[in-house]
Structure 1
Amino acid sequence: MSKPFCVSNTLLIKGFAMLSRKLTSIIWLTAFAVLAPAAWAEQVLKMATTTSTENTGLLPVLNAPFEKKHKARIDVIAVGSGKAMKLGESGDVDIVFAHDPDAEEKFMAAGHGVDRKPVMHNDFVVVGPETDPAGVESAKTADEAFKKIAEAKAGFVSRGDESGTHVKEKTLWRKAGLRPKGEWYLSVGQGMGAVLRMADDKAYYALTDRGTFLAGKDKLTVKLLFEGDPALSNPYHVMAVNPKKHKHVNYELAKKYIDYVTGTEGQKTIADFKVADQPLFYPDAFPNAEKSKK
C-alpha cells in the first residue's frame, strides 16, 4: 500500500514544481511585457514653431539626426509665432522656435521661457505679379514699397494671424505712416504657403520670408520685387518652456535640443540646407557660421 502512495506523492511534488516554474515564467513574461515598452519607449519633444520652418522643409532635415541620437520623436505644431508662444505660455509644448523678437522678449520677461538662444536668420521680401502695377521694384526702401502698394490699391494679401511675418508687416505699414484697409487689402488668417498661393491666384502682393518663397517659387508666378532693406531682417530664436511654471514639460530634452540646434551639427545642417543652390537660412549660433551679407 505504501509504494503506490509514494509514487503518487512524487508525481504530485513534480507536478507542483512544474506548475511553479510555469507560473514564474508567466509572471516574468507579464512583467517584461509591461515594463519593456516603458524602458524602450521613445521620448517625445513637443515643439511649437512658425510655419516657415515647416513649409521650407528645414525641420524634417534638421530634426532627424537629433531624433535618432536621442531615440526621440519631435511632435511639431506649425503655427504663427504668436500662437506658438501662446502654446508655450499654457505649457502645451516643451519648446518654442519662433521669429518675433519683441514678442519673444516679452515671453521671456514674463517667465514663460528659459534658455533663449539665437539659431538662424533670413529676411523678408515683397513679392507680387510680374507686371508690378504698383511699381514696387523701383522702391528704394521698404517704406516706399509699402506706400506704392497702398497708393495704387494694388491688392495685398496679409497673413492676419499674429505670426512673426504678420507682426513684421504691421510694423512696416506703421513705419510708412499707413493703416491699410479696403477691398484691396485681404487679411486671411492663413499660413505663409497659403498666402503665397492666394497672392499668386489673385496677382496680388505679399510679404513673405525668403525661405518659404524660395522653397515654393517653382510653383508660383509671383516674383520677388523688393529686398535688401535692413528693416526686413528676420531672426529666429529657440527657447524652452519654463519648467518652474509647468513641471510636466520635458525640459531636459528641450535643453538637449537647444544645445543641438545651436551647436556645430545643427548649425551646419542649417547652412547646408538649400533650394536650387540658394541658402534658405543662415546660421547664427557659432563663430564659423555662414552669415548673410544682406
Structure 2
Amino acid sequence: MKRILLLGLLMGTALAAAPLRLATTTSVNDSGLLDALLPGFTQETGIPVQVIAVGTGQALAIAGRGDADAVLVHAPDLEARFLREGKGVAHACIAYNNFVIAGPASDPARVAGAASALEAMRRIYAAGAPFVSRGDNSGTYHRERALWKAAGLEPDDQPWYLESGSGMGATLALAAEKQTYTLTDLGTYLFMKDEVELTGLYDRPDPLMLNQYGYMVVNPERFAHVNAEAAYALRAYLLRPDVQQQISAYLKDRYGRSLFNPLFGRCKVEVEP
C-alpha cells in the first residue's frame, strides 16, 4: 500500500511539474509583463511556463502545429482564423492598450499634429520620412499594414521604408539608432522609453490604434499531447480579478498610466470564429 501511495504521489508531482508551453507575442514579453505575472502562477500551481516569444503570426504557426499548449497574441483577424480552423478553443481577451507611432523628437513629418492615425501615416509617406517596420508577420506588423492600406498607400517600394524582421524591442532599438518612425505597442514603448531616444508622437484614443490581447488554448481534440489542463489553468489565472488588477497596476506608478488595461475576458473587438 505504501508503495502504491508513493507511486501515486510521484506521478502527481510529475504531472504538476509538466511545463506549459506558451507561444506569445514579443510585446507582452519585451514589456516585462510576463515576468511579472507568470512566477505567481507557477508558485500557486507548480506548473512551470516555457515562454516562446515571437511575432503573433509565428506564435500561431507554432501553436497550429501543436508545438505549444496555449497562445497569447494580438491580431483579432488571425485569432479568428485560428479558431475557425479548429486549432484553438476557449478564446478570451486578457488586456488591451493602444498602438503608438513613435519617432524622432524633431518629427520631420509632423506626425504629432495629425488628427488621425491615417493622417499620420499619410504625413510620413508624403515626407518620405524613414520608417522601420517589424516585417515579421506579427500583430503589430499586421496593424501597420492595415493602416497603410486604409490610408490608400503602398510603402514597399519606397527607399525610406525599412524592415527589421525582429521583435518589438529590437525594432524600437533600431528605430532609435536610425532616428526613424515606427509603430509600437504602448506597453513595450513605455517599458523601453528610458533606453531608446524616441518620442511617442501619435499616442491618443483612436479606434484604429486599439491593441487587444487574446488567449487561446490549443485544441486538445486536434493535438492529443497538448497540456490542456495547464493551459486552462493559466487562462483562469489570467482572468482572475486580482491578476487582472495586477495587469492594470503593472508599472503604472513609474509611468503615470497603465501599460495594459484589463479586459476580464470581454473583447473590445469581437473575435468571431
SS of corresponding position for 2:48: strand
SS of corresponding position for 2:183: strand
Matching residue within 174, 185, 190 for 1:209? 185
| Contact kept in structure 1, 2:239 and 2:264, CA below 8 Å | yes
Counterpart for residue 47 of structure 1: 22
How big is each residue's C-alpha offset from its partner over 1:232-254, in whole Å with a ceiling of 9 and x where there is no partner?
Answer: 00011100000010000011111
- Structure 2 distance, partners of 1:89, 1:121, is 24
Q: In the alignment, residue 189 of structure 2 is paired with which amino acid?
A: F
- What aligned pairs does 1:1-294 form with structure 2 within 5 A after superposition? 38-41=11-14, 42-180=17-155, 181-228=157-204, 229-275=206-252, 276=254, 277-285=256-264
- Structure 1 distance, partners of 2:195, 2:257, is 17
- Structure 2 distance, partners of 1:70, 1:185, is 46
- Structure 2 distance, partners of 1:184, 1:210, is 24
Q: Which has the higher contact order (CA 8 A, sep 6+)?
A: 2
Q: State the Cα distance separating 1:39 from its structure 2 match.
A: 4.3
- Structure 1 distance, partners of 2:226, 2:13, is 20
- Structure 2 distance, partners of 1:286, 1:155, is 38
RMSD: 1.8
Runs of 4+ in 1 over 6 A off after TM superposition: none
SS of corresponding position for 1:93: coil
SS of corresponding position for 1:221: coil
- Structure 2 distance, partners of 1:129, 1:265, is 38
| Contact kept in structure 2, 1:94 and 1:251, CA below 8 Å | yes
How big is each residue's C-alpha offset from its partner over 1:141-192, in whole Å with a ceiling of 9 and x where there is no partner?
Answer: 1111001111111100000001000000000000000000322000121100
User: Which structure has the larger Rg?
Assistant: 1
| Contact kept in structure 2, 1:263 and 1:286, CA below 8 Å | no
Q: State the Cα distance separating 1:36 from its structure 2 match.
A: 7.0
| Contact kept in structure 1, 2:131 and 2:162, CA below 8 Å | yes
How big is each residue's C-alpha offset from its partner over 1:114-157, in whole Å with a ceiling of 9 and x where there is no partner?
Answer: 00001100000100001001111110011110011111111000
Counterpart for residue 12 of structure 1: none
| Contact kept in structure 1, 2:88 and 2:216, CA below 8 Å | yes
- Structure 2 distance, partners of 1:206, 1:262, is 31
Q: In the alignment, residue 13 of structure 2 is paired with which amino acid?
A: W
- Structure 2 distance, partners of 1:240, 1:70, is 17
Q: State the Cα distance separating 1:260 from its structure 2 match.
A: 1.0
TM-score (norm 1): 0.84
Length, aligned pairs only: 258
- Structure 1 distance, partners of 2:91, 2:265, is 15
Q: State the Cα distance separating 1:38 from its structure 2 match.
A: 4.6
Q: State the Cα distance separating 1:230 from its structure 2 match.
A: 1.7
Q: In the alignment, residue 162 of structure 2 is paired with which amino acid?
A: L
Q: State the Cα distance separating 1:43 from its structure 2 match.
A: 2.4
| Contact kept in structure 2, 1:264 and 1:286, CA below 8 Å | no
| Contact kept in structure 1, 2:93 and 2:212, CA below 8 Å | yes
Q: In the alignment, residue 163 of structure 2 is paired with which amino acid?
A: S
Q: In the alignment, residue 233 of structure 2 is paired with which amino acid?
A: K
| Contact kept in structure 2, 1:121 and 1:234, CA below 8 Å | yes
| Contact kept in structure 2, 1:267 and 1:286, CA below 8 Å | no
Counterpart for residue 271 of structure 2: none
- Structure 2 distance, partners of 1:286, 1:144, is 32
- Structure 1 distance, partners of 2:98, 2:76, is 14
